[in-house]
Amino acid sequence: MKAFAYVSAPDVATAVRAIATEPRAKFIGGGTNLVDLMREDIERPDTVVDISGIALTGVEELAGGGVRIGAMVRNSHLAAHPLIRSRYPVLAQAILAGASGQLRNMATVGGNILQRTRCPYFYDRAAACNKREPGSGCDAFGGFTRNHAVLGGSESCIAAHPSDMCVALAALDAVVEVESVRGVRRIPLVEFHRLPGATPHVETDIAADELITAVELPALPVATTSRYRKVRDRASYAFALVSVAAALEVQHGTVATVRLALGGVGAKPWRAHEAERLLLGAAPTEESFRRAAAAELAPAVAQPHNAFKIELAERTIVATLAQLLAAGGAA
């Protein structure tokens, strides 16, 4: 790891001022992803601005039933929070399905949103990677692609987004609040991450000098019947091959409300808009679940090692919706 200067910011104003004057600076919160990438010589900031002491640590109920989550809330604290457990179980489950107890105690909500891909060719500086070095090529093509995206990739990059939490946030219509010396912006989570296209190094909508300060969840009654299902290569402590965040409400024999997002298969946290469109108003049957899942995966582009994810994603969507239905989605 190269040497760097360290600045501790006690509040948001100090943090965004510090970053504005230093072009090669990075914010550090829990450090679980950044320190790893710095040690691998992939991130090379000259200055690190420590935001872990900023009191963005609240989980507050908003008027109208939504919840505002401070960006510095630790993943484990968010997952254990009664408001989240009762109103947005899919979010608590998604967080608990990720990483380990130790890492969840360190990782912040803001940092989780900004975590970078686990593509082995991104991590290996001996490999070509358009995300790490724009224009250098992509060694994942023709290489090991088991963990790669089948949705949203491009000829430049097929890296998958690794977050579990973001999949739930995508399903829940979360909004990310960012702040810089230029002011405050609010970005829907589903628009926060960018698809790689020809510029896979540009991963999010956030500018280098902007700080995530909060995530807001809207009031969403359907979320009380929600669930996160993660499928991976061991029983715990592994990244998703496929994950599904889903919420379902059935009224009078048809799907009245549905939220569906996918992890492990997308170049970004993947909101399944097409599947939702087909499900809405349909009878909640295995057949309609299957049709919706197939439609969502129809545009998928597979590589030799990840073709199985298409069927796996479809099956997992069907199984998760069926479980929600059985668990009270028909209430």
CA distances to 112, 212, 267 from 204, rounded to whole Å, are 13, 12, 11
**Three-class DSSP labels, 153-184:** CCCCCCCCCCCCHHHHHHHCCCEEEEEECCEE
Query: 253: Cβ–Cβ under 8 A, 6 or more apart, which residues?
Result: 283, 284
- Minimum distance, C-beta of residue 79 to another protein, in the bound complex (Å): 7
From the list 166-174, 190-198, 231-239, 265-273, the region that binds another protein by CB under 8 A is: 231-239
Query: 235: Cβ–Cβ under 8 A, 6 or more apart, which residues?
Result: none
Exposed e or buried b for every residue in 5-43, given b needs 16+ CB within 10 A? Answer: eebebeebeebbbbbeebeebbbbbbbbbbeebbeeebb
**By CB under 8 A, is residue 121 in contact with another protein?**
yes
**By CB under 8 A, is residue 133 in contact with another protein?**
no
Which residue in the set 23, 101, 221, 253 belongs to the binding site for another protein (CB under 8 A)? 101
Distance CA(270)–CA(264), nearest Å, equals: 9
**By CB under 8 A, is residue 126 in contact with another protein?**
yes
**By CB under 8 A, is residue 235 in contact with another protein?**
yes
**By CB under 8 A, is residue 59 in contact with another protein?**
no
CB 254 within 8 A of CB 284: yes
- Residues 286-315: x/- map of binding to another protein (CB under 8 A)? ----------------------x--xx--x
- Residues 177-196: x/- map of binding to another protein (CB under 8 A)? --------------------
Structure tokens at 62: 């908003």
**By CB under 8 A, is residue 57 in contact with another protein?**
no
CB 134 within 8 A of CB 154: no
**By CB under 8 A, is residue 263 in contact with another protein?**
no
CA distances to 22, 209, 305 from 2, rounded to whole Å, are 17, 22, 35
Cα-trace Rg, the chain:
19
How many other C-beta atoms are found inside a 10 Å radius of the C-beta of residue 264? 28
Which residue in the set 23, 58, 60, 100 belongs to the binding site for another protein (CB under 8 A)? 100
From the list 89-97, 191-199, 209-217, 296-304, the region that binds another protein by CB under 8 A is: 89-97
- Minimum distance, C-beta of residue 81 to another protein, in the bound complex (Å): 10
* Per rule CB under 8 A, count of chain residues that contact another protein: 68
The nearer residue to another protein, 80 or 295, going by C-beta atoms, is: 80
Q: Which residues bind another protein (CB under 8 A)?
A: 1-6, 8, 28, 30-32, 35-36, 38-39, 41, 48, 50, 52, 76, 79-80, 82, 85-86, 89, 92-93, 96-97, 99-103, 105-106, 118, 120-121, 123-127, 139, 142-144, 147, 230-231, 233-239, 241-242, 308, 311-312, 315-316, 318-319
